[in-house]
Structure 1
Amino acid sequence: MDSRLKHRLPSVVTLGFLVAGFLLAGFMARAETLLVCPQGCPFSSVQEAISRASPGDTILIQAGTYVENLVISKRGLIL
């Protein structure tokens, strides 16, 4: 192996891990928690929260009565 490559390889590997870490952190930071409650929350309808959610999001449903027919066509949601 070329001696220049031996000296650069640790730097290249470290840079690769840093880039991968930043990309992973960016994807994880995008996950949101959407709050549903009968009054005073960003969402008063479970379906509205499902429709606005992205994969990886969590929908937190507070106590209440929700009379809805839900359509869940997205993967990766946490209810």
Structure 2
Amino acid sequence: MRRVMLKKFDKSAGKFGAYVDDVAATFHQFGVTYQEFESGPGNYTVGIIELADGTVQEFALNMFRFLEPIGAGKA
């Protein structure tokens, strides 16, 4: 499992707002979910992430970033 930094939207950051770093969490794996439209479902990829309080949530891919590269710190 890898550490990630979750982002949140800050309306006070700049003229139009911006996404800023929020809290660190633990990435478990990628998953797939969908959104229903009039023409049918639209599938998209999400990250399954565990928060510090132990809850697990899905996050859109643009809402987190990995904190270390794959294999970092392993001998």
TM band (smaller chain): under 0.3
Q: Which has the higher helix share?
A: 1
Q: Scaled by the length of structure 2, what TM-score is found?
A: 0.21
Q: Scaled by the length of structure 1, what TM-score is found?
A: 0.21
Q: Which has the higher strand share?
A: 2
Select the structure with the greater relative contact order (CA < 8 A; seq sep ≥ 6): 2
Q: Indicate the structure (1 or 2) with the bigger Cα radius of gyration.
A: 1
